[in-house]
């Protein structure tokens, strides 16, 4: 009779890379949420500017921050069928340009015709902005300058342009968080997908009968052994089969004997006829002593069984806690 085998629930063999990838996704999500609490509004103002008459806001006092930077958002407002070129500038106390951005804005409308139907369309691109990070405490001035303002037929327009200016401090550019989010999810998904194929296959034997066995050299206190028994049976099968697994050491002594109930999955065609019947049982073991071991499987009842496959893998990893049978060196 085999010695009693101790079963333990363990996280010892989990695939840590899955959780590292999911952890990175969690950090990205937390960073996105936290970014909202760092934002501090400084200015929200509507102004007017025209060519050769730039508009200047009151100087703003800014200072370096460990997280986030300064963002200036500018949105022009112009009638339809006009083009506008304007520049957003940040100037220091000496009126030197620290940063600048040029915007080619437009607001157009038209008529479309398709298959006898007509309608109107309207599109625009009027917004611009600057993101900067303060290197030192200083006072800066936001300047908006109109460089060119014409109709879509290229006629000059001598009218003021209305701009809505919003300035915030502590802004985190979340656009750079998205690659980390999707990359982390992709890595976690791929790691989960390939976790089932980890480990070295020591035994892979299939026989057209209800009994199969094979001997191989394996084991080690730090190597998880996964034994999979796959069964194929005919349409006369009951809903479950019984799988008996026995393991014998190099002397032929039985050191493990356990059974599993295998639920069967019946696949049917469009007419309701059974096309295949399959089931699988899995055992997780630690064979503390490296040696020669024989694995022997018996499926009962055996009458409906068409084929039995025995797969033994060593060095596998799991996605969570599992129940492991520990076979000691003295077994």
Predicted confidence at residue 153, as pLDDT, reads 87
pTM: 0.58
Contact 59, 65 (CB under 8 A): no
Helix 16-38 to helix 177-195 angle, to the nearest 10 degrees? 160
Q: Which domains does the chain have, with CATH numbers?
A: 6-15+199-327 (2.60.120), 40-171 (2.60.120.380)
Tens place of pLDDT per residue across the chain (331 aa) = 555 677 888 888 887 777 777 787 787 777 777 666 667 888 899 999 999 899 999 998 887 776 667 889 999 999 999 999 999 999 988 889 988 999 999 999 888 888 778 888 889 999 998 888 877 888 889 999 999 999 988 899 999 999 999 998 877 666 666 777 777 778 777 777 766 667 889 999 999 999 999 999 998 888 999 999 999 999 999 999 999 999 999 888 899 999 999 999 999 888 888 889 999 999 999 998 999 999 999 999 999 999 999 999 998 888 888 888 888 865 4
């Amino acid at each position: 009779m085999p010695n009693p085998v101790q079963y333990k629930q363990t996280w010892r063999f989990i695939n840590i890379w899955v959780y590292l990838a999911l952890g990175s996704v969690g950090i990205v999500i937390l960073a996105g949420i936290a970014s909202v609490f760092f934002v501090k509004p400084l200015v929200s103002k509507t102004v007017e500017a025209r060519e050769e008459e730039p508009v200047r806001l009151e100087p703003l006092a800014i200072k370096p921050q460990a997280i986030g930077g300064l963002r200036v958002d500018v949105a022009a407002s112009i009638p339809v069928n006009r083009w506008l070129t304007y520049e957003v500038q940040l100037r220091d106390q000496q009126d030197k340009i620290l940063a600048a951005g040029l915007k080619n804005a437009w607001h157009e409308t038209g008529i479309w015709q398709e298959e006898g139907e007509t309608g109107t369309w309207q599109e625009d691109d009027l917004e611009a902005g600057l993101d900067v990070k303060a290197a030192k405490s200083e006072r800066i001035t936001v300047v908006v300058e109109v460089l060119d303002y014409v109709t879509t037929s290229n006629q000059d327009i001598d009218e003021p342009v209305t701009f809505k200016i919003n300035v915030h401090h502590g802004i985190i550019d979340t656009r750079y968080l998205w690659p980390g989010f999707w990359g982390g999810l992709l890595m976690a998904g791929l790691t989960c997908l390939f976790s089932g194929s980890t480990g070295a296959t020591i035994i892979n034997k299939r026989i057209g009968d209800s009994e199969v066995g094979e001997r191989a050299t394996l084991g080690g206190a730090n190597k998880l052994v996964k034994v999979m028994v796959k069964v194929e049976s005919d349409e006369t099968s009951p809903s479950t089969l019984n799988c008996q697994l026995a393991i014998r050491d190099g002397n032929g002594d039985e050191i493990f004997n356990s059974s599993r109930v295998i639920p069967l999955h019946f696949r049917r065609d469009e007419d309701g006829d059974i096309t295949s019947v399959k089931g699988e049982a899995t055992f997780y073991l630690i064979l503390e002593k490296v040696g020669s071991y024989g694995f022997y499987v018996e499926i009962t009842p055996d009458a409906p069984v068409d084929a039995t496959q025995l797969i033994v893998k060593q060095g596998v990893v799991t996605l969570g806690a599992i129940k492991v049978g520990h076979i000691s060196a003295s077994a």
